[in-house]
């Protein structure tokens, strides 16, 4: 499956170019570029809701209600279940935002990429620059280290070390590389 902006690269190649940080968010990955960017619009609603709640006061409460409504709309469009209070670092990429379910106590590190039909069940912690393939199920509590990859339809039930690639049911490490 080729990405529109890089027709010669597969989905597995996306996000693994040199210089992508596991600690410094690349906020441009969340920019709404077109009218129909449902993943980015869902993330924008979550981020603005959280900012409005943090601001407080009457204007903060009113703005939070507006962004909660926007979240409801984009959650319905994408059929995603990402709670408004989920801790998400910057640079999250929802490549095909359909059917993603994320437990409210999960924590997502910077510059992660989550494909469609992914479930984070239980309090899962994703490190920075983690890529999760379509249909993967991650059953926590567990931690996935920086620069790790989870294969499509994998069922992860144990911690994944940094730089590892896991696949299968149950997921097993199929390759490891230096995460630096």
Render pLDDT for 30-45 as a digit per residue (tens, 0 to 9): 889 888 899 999 999 9
Which residue would you say has higher pLDDT here, 55 or 9? 55
pLDDT at site 3 = 40
Mean pLDDT, rounded, of the chain: 88
pTM score: 0.83
Per-residue confidence (pLDDT) for residue 179, from 0 to 100: 60
Q: Residue 66, CB half-sphere, CA atoms under 13 Å: how many? A: 10
Closest to 70 (Cα-Cα) out of 26, 120, 110, 32: 32
The CATH number of 82-180, from 1.20.1250.20, 1.10.240.10, 2.70.160.11, 2.160.10.10, is 2.160.10.10
Contact assessment for residue 147 and residue 161, using Cβ atoms and an 8 Å cutoff:
no
pLDDT digits (tens, 9 = 90+) for 86-129: 999 999 999 889 999 999 999 999 999 999 999 999 999 999 99
Residue 12: the pLDDT is 40
Which carries the bigger pLDDT value, residue 178 or residue 44?
44
Both structure tokens of 18: 């040199």
Tokens of 114: 């989550």
Residues 6+ apart with CB under 8 A from 143: 124, 125, 127, 159, 160
Taking phi over 0 as left and psi of -120 to 50 as alpha, with beta for the rest, 122 belongs to left
- The residue written with tokens 């896991």 in the block is 166
Gap between the Cα atoms of 118 and 92, Å rounded: 14
DSSP for 4-72, please give it: TTEEEEEGGGTT-STT--SSS--GGGG---SS--HHHHHHHHHHHHHHHHHH-HHHHHHHHHHHHHHHH
Q: Read off the pLDDT band of 18 (50, 70, 90).
A: low
């Amino acid at each position: 499956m080729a990405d529109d902006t890089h027709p010669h690269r597969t989905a597995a190649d996306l996000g693994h170019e040199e210089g992508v940080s596991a600690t410094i968010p690349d906020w441009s990955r969340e920019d709404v570029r077109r009218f129909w960017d449902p993943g980015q619009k869902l993330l924008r609603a979550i981020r603005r809701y959280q900012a409005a709640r943090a601001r407080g006061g009457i204007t903060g409460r009113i703005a939070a209600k507006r962004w909660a409504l926007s979240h409801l709309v984009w959650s319905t469009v994408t059929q995603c279940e990402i709670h408004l209070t989920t801790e998400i670092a910057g640079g999250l990429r929802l490549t095909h935002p359909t059917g993603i379910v994320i437990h409210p106590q999960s924590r997502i590190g910077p510059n992660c990429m989550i494909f469609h039909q992914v479930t984070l069940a239980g309090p899962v912690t994703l490190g920075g620059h983690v890529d999760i393939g379509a249909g993967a199920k991650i059953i926590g509590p567990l931690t996935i280290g920086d620069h790790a990859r989870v294969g499509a339809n994998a069922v992860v039930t144990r911690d994944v070390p940094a730089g590892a690639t896991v696949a299968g049911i149950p997921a097993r490490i199929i390759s490891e590389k230096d995460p630096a």
